[in-house]
Amino acid sequence: MPIYEYKCDSCGHTLEAIQKFSDAALSDCPTCGKPSLKKQISAAGFQLKGGGWYATDFKGGSKPKASDGESSASAKDTKTSGSGGGCGGGACGCH
């Protein structure tokens, strides 16, 4: 359940309340008793850490390095296609 922050417009009292999404907003201040509580906008109180879908799909940072087999194959294709102006005889997939 989320934690909501409230502030009373009459006396300035602030409080936090754990409520369901479906619960009605609080209106009566527990300090002065007036119906002047207003919901405040605040930052989320959680942080994603560790591995899993977040780290692999959305977290910023460096990409995993290609294995030696992939990097040497791509270097070979580059050399083949760059020399002589041809495709290198099937290495590029056009044959």
What is the pLDDT at residue 21?
86
Residues of the chain with pLDDT under 70: 45-48, 50-51, 54-95
Task: For residue 37, give Cα distances in angstroms to 2, 26, 40, 66, 69.
Answer: 18, 7, 9, 56, 64
What is the pLDDT at residue 38?
95
Neighbours of 29 (CB within 10 A): 20
Q: Is residue 84 part of a domain?
A: no
Count: domains in the chain: 1
pTM given for the model = 0.46
Amino acid, single-letter form, for residue 12? G
Name the residue range of residue 35's domain: 3-39
